[in-house]
Amino acid sequence: MHGFANPARFLRLARWLTPLTLGLGLVVASLALAWGLFMAPADRLQGDTVRILFVHVPAVWLGMAGWMTIAIASLVELVWRHPLAGIAARAAAVPGAFYTALGLATGSIWGRPAWGTWWVWDGRLTSFLVLLFLYFAYIALSDAASRDGGNGRVAAIFGLVGAINIPIINRSVVWWNSLHQPPSITAGKSAMDAAFLWPLLAAAIGFSLIFGAVVLMRMRAILANQQAEARLRRKAAE
Protein backbone atom coordinates (compact mmCIF):
# COMPACT_ATOMS: atom_id res chain seq x y z
CA MET A 1 0.00 0.00 0.00
CA HIS A 2 2.87 2.35 0.84
CA GLY A 3 4.16 1.87 -2.72
CA PHE A 4 1.05 3.53 -4.17
CA ALA A 5 1.69 6.63 -2.05
CA ASN A 6 4.18 7.60 -4.75
CA PRO A 7 2.37 10.14 -7.03
CA ALA A 8 4.25 9.03 -10.19
CA ARG A 9 3.33 5.36 -9.59
CA PHE A 10 -0.26 6.36 -8.81
CA LEU A 11 -0.53 8.37 -12.05
CA ARG A 12 0.76 5.42 -14.14
CA LEU A 13 -1.90 3.20 -12.54
CA ALA A 14 -4.69 5.80 -12.71
CA ARG A 15 -4.17 6.48 -16.45
CA TRP A 16 -5.49 3.03 -17.44
CA LEU A 17 -7.69 2.43 -14.37
CA THR A 18 -9.81 5.59 -14.92
CA PRO A 19 -11.31 4.70 -18.36
CA LEU A 20 -11.63 1.03 -17.34
CA THR A 21 -13.65 1.69 -14.15
CA LEU A 22 -15.67 4.44 -15.84
CA GLY A 23 -16.57 2.32 -18.89
CA LEU A 24 -17.39 -0.76 -16.81
CA GLY A 25 -19.39 1.33 -14.32
CA LEU A 26 -21.46 3.01 -17.06
CA VAL A 27 -22.27 -0.35 -18.71
CA VAL A 28 -23.17 -2.14 -15.43
CA ALA A 29 -25.18 0.80 -14.02
CA SER A 30 -27.10 1.30 -17.31
CA LEU A 31 -27.99 -2.41 -17.51
CA ALA A 32 -29.00 -2.48 -13.83
CA LEU A 33 -31.24 0.59 -14.19
CA ALA A 34 -32.88 -0.86 -17.32
CA TRP A 35 -33.37 -4.15 -15.43
CA GLY A 36 -34.95 -2.33 -12.48
CA LEU A 37 -37.12 -0.12 -14.67
CA PHE A 38 -38.40 -2.62 -17.25
CA MET A 39 -37.83 -6.18 -16.02
CA ALA A 40 -38.16 -6.23 -12.21
CA PRO A 41 -41.73 -6.95 -11.07
CA ALA A 42 -43.93 -4.40 -9.27
CA ASP A 43 -44.06 -4.91 -5.50
CA ARG A 44 -47.24 -6.39 -3.95
CA LEU A 45 -47.64 -3.47 -1.51
CA GLN A 46 -45.72 -0.56 -3.06
CA GLY A 47 -46.55 -1.22 -6.70
CA ASP A 48 -44.22 0.33 -9.30
CA THR A 49 -42.65 2.88 -6.89
CA VAL A 50 -40.38 0.07 -5.66
CA ARG A 51 -38.30 0.74 -8.82
CA ILE A 52 -36.95 3.92 -7.15
CA LEU A 53 -35.01 1.46 -4.94
CA PHE A 54 -32.44 0.91 -7.73
CA VAL A 55 -31.41 4.59 -7.72
CA HIS A 56 -32.06 5.44 -4.06
CA VAL A 57 -30.17 2.59 -2.32
CA PRO A 58 -26.91 2.92 -4.37
CA ALA A 59 -27.01 6.71 -3.79
CA VAL A 60 -27.42 6.28 -0.01
CA TRP A 61 -24.72 3.59 0.09
CA LEU A 62 -22.28 5.84 -1.82
CA GLY A 63 -23.10 8.85 0.37
CA MET A 64 -21.99 6.82 3.42
CA ALA A 65 -19.12 5.05 1.59
CA GLY A 66 -17.85 8.47 0.44
CA TRP A 67 -17.55 9.65 4.04
CA MET A 68 -15.86 6.38 5.09
CA THR A 69 -13.34 6.97 2.25
CA ILE A 70 -12.70 10.47 3.66
CA ALA A 71 -12.32 9.10 7.22
CA ILE A 72 -9.93 6.27 6.27
CA ALA A 73 -7.85 8.52 3.96
CA SER A 74 -7.74 11.19 6.71
CA LEU A 75 -6.49 8.61 9.22
CA VAL A 76 -3.78 7.49 6.78
CA GLU A 77 -2.86 11.16 6.16
CA LEU A 78 -2.60 11.94 9.87
CA VAL A 79 -0.77 8.77 10.95
CA TRP A 80 1.50 7.89 7.99
CA ARG A 81 1.53 11.28 6.22
CA HIS A 82 0.97 9.66 2.83
CA PRO A 83 1.02 12.44 0.21
CA LEU A 84 -1.87 10.89 -1.72
CA ALA A 85 -4.16 10.20 1.24
CA GLY A 86 -5.21 13.83 1.71
CA ILE A 87 -5.75 14.13 -2.05
CA ALA A 88 -7.94 10.97 -2.03
CA ALA A 89 -10.02 12.39 0.84
CA ARG A 90 -10.55 15.71 -0.97
CA ALA A 91 -11.37 13.90 -4.23
CA ALA A 92 -14.08 11.77 -2.54
CA ALA A 93 -15.88 14.78 -1.01
CA VAL A 94 -17.76 16.15 -4.04
CA PRO A 95 -19.04 12.79 -5.40
CA GLY A 96 -19.92 11.77 -1.81
CA ALA A 97 -21.91 15.00 -1.33
CA PHE A 98 -23.61 14.51 -4.71
CA TYR A 99 -24.76 10.97 -3.88
CA THR A 100 -25.90 12.07 -0.40
CA ALA A 101 -28.03 14.82 -1.99
CA LEU A 102 -29.32 12.30 -4.56
CA GLY A 103 -30.19 9.84 -1.75
CA LEU A 104 -32.16 12.58 0.05
CA ALA A 105 -33.93 13.72 -3.13
CA THR A 106 -34.88 10.22 -4.35
CA GLY A 107 -35.93 9.23 -0.82
CA SER A 108 -38.20 12.28 -0.67
CA ILE A 109 -39.65 11.46 -4.11
CA TRP A 110 -40.26 7.86 -2.95
CA GLY A 111 -41.74 9.04 0.37
CA ARG A 112 -44.60 10.96 -1.26
CA PRO A 113 -46.38 7.93 -2.84
CA ALA A 114 -45.18 5.41 -0.19
CA TRP A 115 -45.71 7.39 3.06
CA GLY A 116 -47.96 10.22 1.85
CA THR A 117 -45.34 12.86 2.74
CA TRP A 118 -42.17 14.29 1.17
CA TRP A 119 -40.27 14.57 4.47
CA VAL A 120 -40.37 13.61 8.15
CA TRP A 121 -37.92 14.74 10.83
CA ASP A 122 -37.12 11.19 12.01
CA GLY A 123 -33.74 9.71 12.95
CA ARG A 124 -32.83 8.30 9.52
CA LEU A 125 -33.71 11.30 7.36
CA THR A 126 -32.32 13.86 9.82
CA SER A 127 -29.00 12.04 10.36
CA PHE A 128 -28.64 11.68 6.58
CA LEU A 129 -29.31 15.42 6.11
CA VAL A 130 -26.62 16.07 8.76
CA LEU A 131 -24.24 13.99 6.57
CA LEU A 132 -24.86 16.40 3.65
CA PHE A 133 -24.02 19.40 5.88
CA LEU A 134 -20.87 17.59 7.09
CA TYR A 135 -19.82 17.20 3.44
CA PHE A 136 -20.37 20.94 2.80
CA ALA A 137 -18.26 21.81 5.86
CA TYR A 138 -15.51 19.36 4.84
CA ILE A 139 -15.39 20.75 1.26
CA ALA A 140 -15.16 24.33 2.61
CA LEU A 141 -12.42 23.38 5.11
CA SER A 142 -10.28 21.41 2.64
CA ASP A 143 -10.66 24.07 -0.10
CA ALA A 144 -9.63 26.79 2.33
CA ALA A 145 -6.60 24.74 3.43
CA SER A 146 -5.44 24.10 -0.14
CA ARG A 147 -6.01 27.73 -1.20
CA ASP A 148 -4.07 29.15 1.76
CA GLY A 149 -1.26 26.61 1.36
CA GLY A 150 -2.18 24.85 4.62
CA ASN A 151 -1.50 21.17 5.32
CA GLY A 152 -5.14 20.10 5.65
CA ARG A 153 -4.80 18.66 9.19
CA VAL A 154 -7.97 20.43 10.39
CA ALA A 155 -9.97 18.97 7.47
CA ALA A 156 -8.48 15.51 8.17
CA ILE A 157 -9.46 15.67 11.87
CA PHE A 158 -12.94 16.86 10.83
CA GLY A 159 -13.17 13.93 8.38
CA LEU A 160 -12.34 11.48 11.17
CA VAL A 161 -14.67 13.01 13.76
CA GLY A 162 -17.55 13.25 11.25
CA ALA A 163 -17.43 9.45 10.78
CA ILE A 164 -19.35 9.14 14.07
CA ASN A 165 -22.48 9.98 12.04
CA ILE A 166 -22.17 6.83 9.85
CA PRO A 167 -23.13 4.24 12.54
CA ILE A 168 -25.86 6.65 13.72
CA ILE A 169 -27.36 6.67 10.18
CA ASN A 170 -27.00 2.89 9.94
CA ARG A 171 -28.67 2.13 13.31
CA SER A 172 -31.18 5.03 13.30
CA VAL A 173 -34.07 2.85 12.04
CA VAL A 174 -33.40 0.34 14.86
CA TRP A 175 -32.91 2.89 17.68
CA TRP A 176 -35.85 5.23 16.91
CA ASN A 177 -39.40 4.87 15.57
CA SER A 178 -39.43 5.82 11.92
CA LEU A 179 -41.57 5.72 8.78
CA HIS A 180 -38.44 4.34 7.12
CA GLN A 181 -38.33 0.55 6.96
CA PRO A 182 -35.71 -1.39 8.99
CA PRO A 183 -32.65 -2.68 7.07
CA SER A 184 -33.56 -5.32 4.41
CA ILE A 185 -29.96 -6.38 3.87
CA THR A 186 -27.66 -7.09 6.82
CA ALA A 187 -24.33 -8.96 6.98
CA GLY A 188 -24.88 -12.26 5.17
CA LYS A 189 -28.70 -12.02 5.24
CA SER A 190 -31.32 -10.50 2.99
CA ALA A 191 -35.08 -10.17 3.50
CA MET A 192 -35.42 -9.05 -0.13
CA ASP A 193 -36.72 -11.25 -2.94
CA ALA A 194 -34.10 -12.25 -5.55
CA ALA A 195 -36.11 -10.41 -8.26
CA PHE A 196 -35.15 -7.12 -6.52
CA LEU A 197 -31.88 -8.16 -4.88
CA TRP A 198 -29.89 -8.97 -8.06
CA PRO A 199 -30.65 -5.76 -10.00
CA LEU A 200 -30.01 -3.82 -6.76
CA LEU A 201 -26.58 -5.44 -6.33
CA ALA A 202 -25.78 -4.75 -10.01
CA ALA A 203 -26.80 -1.08 -9.60
CA ALA A 204 -24.70 -0.77 -6.41
CA ILE A 205 -21.65 -2.25 -8.20
CA GLY A 206 -22.18 -0.07 -11.32
CA PHE A 207 -22.57 3.20 -9.37
CA SER A 208 -19.63 2.27 -7.09
CA LEU A 209 -17.39 1.83 -10.16
CA ILE A 210 -18.54 5.23 -11.48
CA PHE A 211 -17.84 6.73 -8.03
CA GLY A 212 -14.33 5.19 -8.11
CA ALA A 213 -13.67 6.60 -11.60
CA VAL A 214 -14.82 10.09 -10.53
CA VAL A 215 -12.54 9.94 -7.45
CA LEU A 216 -9.61 8.93 -9.71
CA MET A 217 -10.36 11.81 -12.13
CA ARG A 218 -10.56 14.32 -9.28
CA MET A 219 -7.33 12.97 -7.71
CA ARG A 220 -5.57 13.38 -11.06
CA ALA A 221 -6.90 16.95 -11.33
CA ILE A 222 -5.75 17.93 -7.81
CA LEU A 223 -2.34 16.31 -8.37
CA ALA A 224 -1.83 18.00 -11.77
CA ASN A 225 -2.77 21.41 -10.34
CA GLN A 226 -0.37 20.92 -7.40
CA GLN A 227 2.46 19.90 -9.76
CA ALA A 228 1.81 22.90 -12.07
CA GLU A 229 1.77 25.32 -9.12
CA ALA A 230 4.95 23.84 -7.63
CA ARG A 231 6.71 24.13 -11.01
CA LEU A 232 5.59 27.75 -11.48
CA ARG A 233 6.76 28.61 -7.94
CA ARG A 234 10.17 27.03 -8.61
CA LYS A 235 10.55 28.97 -11.87
CA ALA A 236 9.52 32.24 -10.19
CA ALA A 237 12.15 31.67 -7.48
CA GLU A 238 14.95 31.08 -10.04
Partner 1 sequence: MREALDHWPFIVAAYTLGVVGTVVMIGWSWLAMRRAEARRERSRER
- Kindly give, in sequence order, each residue whose CB lies less than 8 Å from that of residue 90, ignoring residues fewer than 6 positions away: 142, 146, 152, 155, 218, 222
Binding-site string for partner 1 from residue 18 to residue 57, where x marks contact by CB under 8 A and - marks none: ----x------x---x---x---------xxx-xx--xx-
Q: Is 188 helix (H, G, I), strand (E, B) or coil?
A: coil
Residues 151-190 binding partner 1 (CB under 8 A) are none
Q: Enumerate the β-bridge partners of residue 185.
A: 190
Q: What CA–CA distance (Å, rounded) separates 30 from 153?
A: 39
Among 82-90, 99-107, 150-158, 166-174, the segment contacting partner 1 (CB under 8 A): 99-107
Q: Is 18 helix (H, G, I), strand (E, B) or coil?
A: helix
Judged by CB, which is closer to partner 1: 92, or 160?
Answer: 92
Which letter does DSSP use for residue 185 in this model? E
Q: What CA–CA distance (Å, rounded) separates 156 from 214?
A: 20
Binding-site string for partner 1 from residue 133 to residue 152, where x marks contact by CB under 8 A and - marks none: --------------------
Q: Give the residues lining the site for partner 1 (CB under 8 A).
A: 22, 29, 33, 37, 47-49, 51-52, 55-56, 59, 94-95, 98, 102, 105-106, 109-110, 112-113, 207, 210, 213-214, 217-218, 220-225, 227-228, 231-232, 235
